Structures are given as structure tokens and as C-alpha cells.
A and B are shown apart, each in its own frame.
Chain A
């Protein structure tokens, strides 16, 4: 960037001011406000949270914020059955939903890509769930899965499929099915829309060449379409893993962890421990576990994205 130099006054003095006025400083100066905000609203709280996770901090007793207890909170977590259940359930929940969303999203994108008439309208409809606040998705499915007045049971009654209401949100297994269904409803569109954008950018020549060479549609899909789509898959995965914890809002309103803790996820257990039981120290220890879980998921897909991008020969 040679043009930087001419546009800025060159200060000859060798004090600190000169560095801030030099072209080398421009990118940092531009980024400074963003860095300040993130430091003060994310990083500092995270440090507080880190400290708190080593104390016996209880919201009702402010002095306990300075009562250092070492690794006690973490030790208790490791021996706490409720925590392990919530952790395991969260891991399984995230794995199942991300995979199903990816497969269903790919399927939907391939189907819509085949339709030429009215495709724009279909794309708009596909964006529909993305407009919904997670709390609204939760409310909507709490209503639909309600055993006495819900749409689903009403439909099953009127079609004479069932005589007894199915307790969608009251039975433990069914409640887990219901929250997974709601999560998939909420997020499959993200995959479908991004993968459809990928399919539309797909170059035609390699496919034509492959078909001339006698590849069948399955081979074309496996060796050309799918590798080309992979960066789009990873973008979608990265975007999704950035906010897997959105599921908290939805589960909070649908079941609030119930019945009897059978849909308790790490996030609902955390707020229950912190705000309802006032055990902030313990809650922050759980918070750290959830943060690390999210970072691991995102970092994994981000690395895949960078690798795929390099493979595609993209710029920078």
C-alpha cells in the first residue's frame, strides 16, 4: 500500500505521537474502538467470570466474591451427576441437530435448486424461520406440542390416529424429541440457504465434462458438486456453531429443563444454579465449560473453512 504514505503527514519527531500518525498505525487505529468495546464488555467479564469460578461467590452474600476456594467448584462439578447429564445431553443435542440440519439443509437446497419456476419465492419462504427470535420458536412449539390444545395433537385427534393425547412436552423422551425438532426447524434454513447459494455458483463446465466422460449423476454429485459445496458447508457450520447456545432461549420457554430435569442442558442448568440458587461461583465454573465447548466447536469448523478456502484457491 504505497498510497498510504502520500496521504498522511509524515511526522519526524520520534515521540509516541508519531507512531499513531504514521501509516503503519492506521489499521490499528481503525480497529481500536472495536477492540476497546470487546475488551470491556466481553474480555473483562470473562476474567471476572474466571475469578468467580474459583470463589464461593453467592449472590445473597456479596463478601463471598473474595472467598477463594481454589478448584473446589470444578471438583464438585466433576462429581455432580446433574452436571454430567446436562453436559452429555448438550453434546448429543448439538451433534444431532448440527448433523441433521446439515443433511436436511443439503436435501432442501438440492430440491429447490431443481425448481426453476418460482425459486425466488421459495427462497424467501426458506428464510422464514431465520426471522424468528429463538424465544418465539420456543413459544410456537410449546403451543403446537401442547398436549391438550396443541395443533399436533388436535390434528392427530381429528384424523382419528390417536384417542389419548400424546404428552409431547411432559414425557422425558418425547420432550427431548420436541426440543430437537424445534431446533432443527429453527436452523435448517441457514444451511439450506447457504448451500443453495453454493449450488447456484457451481460452475457448469466440470459437470458437463464429467457427464460427457460418462459419469452418472451420483458420481457427479460425489466428486464435483459435494467438494465444491464443502466451503459453504463449513461457513454454515461456523455460523451455526457461533450461536448454538441460542437453543437456551427455546428450551427455557418450552420445557425449562423439565420434566424432572430430562431436557436440562448445560445452559439451563447454569442459569438455575446462578440466578435461582444464587451459587454464582459454581454457575461461572459451568459457564466456562460451556464457553470452551462453544469455542472448540467453532474453532474446529473455522479451521476446516480456512483449509477449504485455501483448497479452493481463494484470495488471502
Chain B
């Protein structure tokens, strides 16, 4: 499009200005939280407002891990480990199971295919809060409340449908001829999959995995009801530890927010190209 329409200079500047304003709105709130994570509490409460941090400090992070003498630490290190264990395990299982499903949808035609696909998608539609009510009842009876295993099971179910959708799209982009040629050359279908189709779909699978990881890493509605203590509480649930009835520990919360966002930031950056391709091709083609 850009090469077809020639804008006048004032139009070009207007476009640049619009983009600048939009990008500012998208980035400033997050940057403000990051800045706050490095401020002493006094600066946050100061009036008139202090815009540029005068005394940057790492004390808020030290406080999270109980390294500061001023205040007893919260078990943030434990929350971090819980989050990692739950997210990574559920991601691996969801991707393996979802890949099998996605391959099945991409490569076979079978009875009830369209209905089954829709059923998977609809299962993803159920709001986490609404699902948390019966899961709370069942998990309580099975003794799965406040266990990592219980959360892993839940996140598997949350991530499988979307993994199926993404992998279905990735496998459909790989021509069937490649696998058929390999089979004519003497591979079994199983070998053809691992030697030809899997390597081609690998980058797509990686982005499906990262998407699943981020969903589990960021999830709050289910975790807030199905976890209770340091045994299984995840980072997003732990964030709420900083709010009392009428007071909020802004700097502590900001520091924890930074800890939650860093893995997400790195992973999204790594995978962004494949993710966009996966979402669009999975849908259009």
C-alpha cells in the first residue's frame, strides 16, 4: 500500500505523530511501573510528584527475597519456583498432546472432524472464573487443592485447545507430498513424521510452546481459587499479597511485577514472528 499512495509531507508528519502518540500510550504505563520498582517508597508518596528517580535503589527487590533487614520477606522465591514448575510441566505435556491432535486434524479426514475441532475451541471459551467453581468442588474432594499437580492438570486443559489450533495451522503449511515422498523412499509414516514433518514444524511448535507457557505463567483467575499457600501459589496470585484492606505496597508490587514481566518479555520477543504467522495462517488457509 505504502508504495502506491504518495502522501504530502504534512500527511506524512501526521502519520508519524499518530504512531508516536499510540506507541507512547502503549509503553508509558509499563515503563512507569518499572521506574517505580527502583524507587524508595518515600518518592512514590511525595508531593509534588517526583518524576525522575532521585535515589534509585534495589531495595525493593531485596525485600522480595527477604534480603532486607527492614521488613520480613515474602516467599517470592518460592512463588517463582512454583510458577516455573507448573508452567513448564503443563506446557511440555500440553504441547505433546496438542501436537498429536493438531497433526490429526491437519493430515486426516475422519468422521466428526469439524464437530470435534469446534468442541475443542468451545472448551477454551469457558471463562476461567466459571470453571474454577466446579473445579474447586472436585479438587477439594480429590485433595488436589493447593497442589502443583492440580494446577498442572488445569493448565494442560487450558492450553491443549489452542495448541491444537496453532499446530494444525503449522502442519497444514507443510506440503503432504514431502511426507509421501519419504514414504515412497521406504520410511514408515512414523519415520516420515519425525524426519520430515517435525523438523519443518519445529519453529511453529516452539511458538505454540511459548504461547502455552505464557498463558500458564500469567493466569490468575483459576490459580487464585485453587492455590492457598506457598505449596503451590504462583506469581500472579502472590502479587495480591501486597494489598491489604486499605493499603498497597506500590514499590514492592512494582518490583514483583518486573519479575513477572521479564520472562514474558524475553520469550515473546524471541517468538513474535512465528506467533503472528501461526495465528493468521492457522485461521486463513
Instruction: List A residues at the B interface (Cβ < 8 Å).
Output: 1, 3-4, 6-8, 24, 26-28, 30-31, 33-35, 37-38, 40-46, 48-49, 52, 57, 65, 108, 111-116, 122-136, 139-144, 149, 151, 154-155, 157-158, 185, 189, 193-194, 197-199, 201-202, 204, 207-208, 211, 217, 225, 231-232, 234-235, 238-239, 241-245, 248-249, 252-253, 267, 270-271, 274-275, 280, 283-284, 287-288, 290-291, 294-295, 298-299, 302, 305, 309, 312, 314-316
Contact = CB atoms under 8 A, between A and B. Distances in A.
Interface stretch (B44-52, B65-73, B74-82, B200-208): B44-52
A3 B180 contact: yes
> Top 5 A-B pairs ranked by shortest CB distance?
A245-B127, A133-B218, A41-B157, A287-B130, A154-B49
A151 B49 CA distance: 9
A127 B268 contact: yes
Given A143-B250, A144-B32, A239-B279, A26 B108 contact: yes
A245 B130 contact: yes
Contact of A158 (B48, B122, B124, B218): B48
24 contacts: A27-B107, A33-B101, A34-B101, A37-B160, A38-B161, A40-B157, A42-B157, A49-B134, A127-B272, A128-B27, A131-B268, A134-B218, A136-B236, A140-B30, A143-B32, A157-B49, A234-B283, A235-B283, A244-B127, A245-B127, A284-B134, A287-B129, A294-B125, A298-B125
Given A45-B138, A112-B19, A30 B253 contact: no
Task: Kindly name the residue among A142, A193, A249 whose own CB sees the greatest number of chain B CB atoms within 10 A.
Answer: A249
Contacts of A287: 127, 129-131, 133-134
A135 B264 CA distance: 14
Interface residues of B, number: 104
B26 A41 contact: no
A51 to B, nearest CB: 9
A198 B277 CA distance: 10
Nearest to B237: A135
A151 B32 contact: yes
Contacts of A243: 124
Contacts of A294: 125-127
B18 A52 contact: no
B19 A245 contact: no
Contact of A291 (B3, B18, B130): B130
Contacts of A139: 33, 239, 253, 257
A128 B135 CA distance: 32
Nearest to B282: A235
A28 B110 contact: yes
Nearest to B126: A291
Nearest to A308: B284
Contacts of A207: 1, 4
Interface in B1-37: 1-5, 7, 15-16, 18-19, 22-23, 25-30, 32-33, 36
A267 B257 CA distance: 24
Contacts of A197: 276-277, 279-280
